[in-house]
Amino acid sequence: QVQLVESGGGLVQAGGSLRLSCTASGTIFSFNSMGWYRQAPGKQRELVATLSHEAVTRYTESVKGRFTMSRDRAGNTVYLQMNSLKPEDSAVYYCNFLGYMDPTTVMSTWGQGTQVTVSS
């Protein structure tokens, strides 16, 4: 019942910035957390950032101080502001939702991914 759609990826020079967005639609009773993951070709999917219901954020060490995750409650949208981008940040970025569809049904849902490519 929940669908996630990411946008905002693209090609950027090293040192530049991008802002990714993820919008959730459908029936949601409550949510536990949202997360951003990334996966480079031939590599395992890596957790980048998480945002809890209480608005507590956590980041993988390699992006601390450069990336910021936030939530727009009214619009059911989360964002990932990425500054000072490096070539090693290049990957497909995926949004994840973990929550309840009703009081007894928990579900984890993934978006389709958005490509981020950092040159130089």
Residue numbers in the chain where pLDDT is lower than 50: none
pLDDT at 69: 97
pLDDT at 42: 94
Question: Is residue 2 packed enough to be buried (19+ CB in 10 Å), middle (13-18) or exposed (0-12)?
Answer: middle
